[in-house]
Amino acid sequence: MLTTVQNETILTQPEAEQVRTETETTVVKEKLSMDSIEFGKKCRPYNIQYRDFFGYVPCREDYSCGQEEFFEALLKSIETKKDINMFLIKKTYDTSNLNKRYR
Higher pLDDT, 77 or 34: 77
Cβ contacts of 43 within 8 Å, gap of 6 or more: 71, 74
Please state the rounded mean pLDDT for residues 33-39.
Answer: 84
Q: What is the pLDDT of residues 4-28, one digit of tens each?
A: 455 555 556 666 566 555 545 444 4
Task: Give the pLDDT of residue 34.
Answer: 74
Answering whether pTM is above 0.75, one says no
Asked if residues 26 and 62 have their Cβ atoms less than 8 Å apart, the reply is: no
Residue 36's nearest CA partner among 44, 28, 46 is 44
> CA-to-CA distance for 19 and 99, rounded, in angstroms?
43
Task: Give the pLDDT of residue 61.
Answer: 92
